Amino acid sequence: MNASRLLGDRRWPELDGPPIVTLLVPVGSLEQHGPHLPLDTDTRIAHAVAQAAAHAVAGGSVLVSPAVSFGASGEHETFPGTVSIGTEGLRTLLVELGRSAGRWARRLVFVNGHGGNLEALGTAVTLLRAEGRDVRWFGCFPPGGDAHAGRAETSIMLALAPRTVRLELARAGNVAPLAELLPLMRASSVRAVSANGVLGDPAGASADEGRTLLAAMVGELVAVLAHRGRPYLPLPCNSSSGISCSAAVSEP
């Protein structure tokens, strides 16, 4: 038995036969995370949660695909380093990925690390389910976490990849509730509400707190995977707007 849970480590005969695999697909972003966190923060977090959950499920039938490392990050594009493929680009990618992996995987779970990806995830999952595939998405949103590059993400990165964190450069950004900031962010950019790109305050971040937040997210994903006998049935969806559809598929 191959102990690795990484799809890329497998050879095709290991996956031949009746479909038994649940494939976790980490979905992240490449976008600014303040002056102190790396651009691929969301991707690293989604991948870490997926990998830990895959190892926590006995039997080796849960595998982790290479991450989708670009997301819908238009609101961050005024910060250099950010690369966004937009909602439509991401939706197309996820749909085609789901159709292809669905030829041999029994179930697909997109493990998402970036809030800006939600519209693409909602519409892609709705379409894939309507086509009869067993697909859902899971959000890596730490309980009680702040919005972006604040205490939660900084803590998690201190736990996952401390050498990538420049704590001496960490500063508070805009600490207003995200709901208050969203209209201006959507109309303009994150830079319009936060000069350093941080939404929250990294003060007090610690690796210990990061490990606690990670464990909570991994536990949630493992609980989702435990419902393995219950297929994620296609949901009725007659809207192409994505808004009602994404709401419909966001329940566990």
- With H, G, I as helix, E, B as strand and everything else as coil, classify residue 176: coil
Residue found by looking up tokens 């207003």 in the block = 176
Q: How far is the CB of 148 from Zn ion (least distance, A)?
A: 6
In the block, residue with structure tokens 């959000």 = 139
**CB of residue 154 vs Zn ion: minimum separation in angstroms?**
10
CA 86 to chain centre: 15
**Rounded-to-integer distance, Cα 175 and Cα 150, Å:** 9
Would you say 41 or 65 has its CB closer to Zn ion?
41
Site residues (vs Zn ion, CB under 5 A)? 41-42
- Residue type for position 20: I
In terms of CB distance, is 71 or 98 closer to Zn ion? 71
Strand partners, 63: 23
Q: How far is the CB of 32 from Zn ion (least distance, A)?
A: 9
Shortest Cβ distance from residue 224 to Zn ion (Å)?
Answer: 21
Nearer to Zn ion, 71 or 102 (CB): 71
Q: Which is nearer to Zn ion, 159 or 245 (CB)?
A: 159
Cβ atoms of 237 and 126 within 8 Å: the answer is: yes
Smallest gap from Cβ 92 to Zn ion, in A, equals: 23
What the block records as the tokens of 44 is 């690293």
C-beta nearest to Zn ion: residue: 42
Nearer to Zn ion, 22 or 154 (CB): 154
Cα distance from N-terminal residue to C-terminal residue, the chain: 31
